[in-house]
Amino acid sequence: MSTLSTHILDISTGKPAQGVTVRLERDGLVIATGTTNSAGRITEFVAHLPAARYRLVADIGAWFTQTGRETIYPCAQIDFVTKEAADEHYHLPFVIAPGGWSTYRGS
């Protein structure tokens, strides 16, 4: 089985996004929830990730509101698939700003 971690960087300030709620969904059900730490990270979001299709959702709208900024994006989400034979680590970061967001496969 694979593992999953994430982190969130606010590129509008150049700082980690501390306190963002992130949830992992599978088949429309929430299977894990976490909050980013002072480094903007959730280092071990899921320790055992079976092969399936998932959605990682970061509630960036609420976080921007808490930090006194507006955004039109209530959340950022990453849809991804793990393979049956995979026994690897998936690091899926969010790069956010009030005007947009992006992702990439990290290491």
Q: Which residues are annotated as a binding site?
A: 7, 41, 104
Amino acid at residue number 26: R
Pairing of strands 2-10, 94-97: parallel
If we measure between CA atoms, which residue out of 43, 32, 41, 36 comes closest to residue 19?
A: 36
Q: Which residue has the tokens 């949830």?
A: 23
Give the 3-state secondary structure of residue 73. Answer: coil
Annotated binding site for substrate: 7, 41, 104
Amino acid at residue number 98: P
CA distance 98 to 80: 24
